[in-house]
Amino acid sequence: MPIDATQPYDDENIFAKILRGEIPSSKVYEDEWAFAFEDINPQAEIHTLVIPKGRYVSWDDFSAKASAEEIAGFVRAVGHVAREKGLVEPGYRLLANVGQHGHQEVPHLHVHLFGGHPLGPMLMRR
Ligand code: 5GP
């Protein structure tokens, strides 16, 4: 079920538990600002999730409230993971779902990193 992206941050969401190490994940990268791990239900050959360490529900919350340092750290981490995975030359796709229409299911900001093969057109036709 997609979430309401205007809700307050819930410390019991699944990605908060992954960040605290309460639930296992397949870690790809970690630094002061971000944590990256493999999606449990991959939609492409490479499907990695990158999340900020701060308590942000969505891209909206993050872009409105995060500090310049947090934003820079997170964006750099996404780029770092893509480079580490060798995705720059073949190309890749980033996606951040927000709220109901975006079909966001987990209420902690995450950027999906897809790659490993041609990904096709961006959106299904309506
Ligand atoms: P959203 O629809 O919120 O943008 O995407 C949530 C993503 O989180 C989905 O691709 C889903 O497969 C992934 N996911 C949900 N629960 C877990 C989990 O416990 N571990 C991992 N690694 N990924 C999860």
Strand runs labelled E in 1-126: 27-30, 34-38, 46-52, 93-95, 111-115
Residues with CB under 6 A from ligand 1: 14, 23, 25, 37, 39-41, 97, 103-106
CA distance 40 to 83: 21
Which residue in the block uniquely carries the two structure tokens 């942000």?
56
121 domain residue, yes or no: no
125 domain residue, yes or no: no
Catalytic residue flag (residue 101): no
- What residues contact 2, with CB distance under 8 A and at least 6 apart? 97, 99, 100, 101, 102, 103, 104, 105
pLDDT of residue 126: 73
6 domain residue, yes or no: no
The reported pTM is: 0.97
50 domain residue, yes or no: yes
Count structural domains, the chain: 1
50-74: pLDDT as tens digits: 999 999 999 999 999 999 999 999 9
Q: Distance from the CA of 18 to the center of ligand 1, in angstroms?
A: 11
- Residue ranges of the chain with pLDDT lower than 50? none
4 domain residue, yes or no: no
Q: For residue 76, what is the domain's CATH number?
A: 3.30.428.10
